[in-house]
Amino acid sequence: AQSVAQPEDQVNVAEGNPLTVKCTYSVSGNPYLFWYVQYPNRGLQFLLKYITGDNLVKGSYGFEAEFNKSQTSFHLKKPSALVSDSALYFCAVRDGDSWGKLQFGAGTQVVVTP
């Protein structure tokens, strides 16, 4: 069965510093991986996805993620964090069946301080 782990409940970073949110996964077959962001009292917004191809995926709002097959990781990164990046971030992996179900991690709260 597919699973996703986000080892950090919270990441604290100063504005302007690099931001990394960690994600590891376990799948059978080829992984389809996603990052979503959630602002307070809102639904989830899509940031980026890895399906195949280049290991470095670029997404919305200046975020990127690096797929590492040997380490089964898909860490989210941003070179210079903004206070407005403070939110809850979810990593997800697509289920292997044909219905496209996503399995989500527990989420990582990012706090960016001025």
In the complex, the smallest distance separating the C-beta of residue 98 from another protein, rounded to whole angstroms, is 7
In the complex, the smallest distance separating the C-beta of residue 94 from another protein, rounded to whole angstroms, is 6
Strand partners, 88: 38, 109
42 binds another protein per the rule CB under 8 A: yes
Q: Contact with another protein (CB under 8 A): which of 13, 21, 44, 57? A: 44
Binding mask 7-36 for another protein (x = CB under 8 A): --x----------------------x-x-x
Contact 114, 15 (CB under 8 A): yes
Contact 8, 107 (CB under 8 A): no
Report the run of H or E that residue 26 belongs to, with start and end. strand 24-26
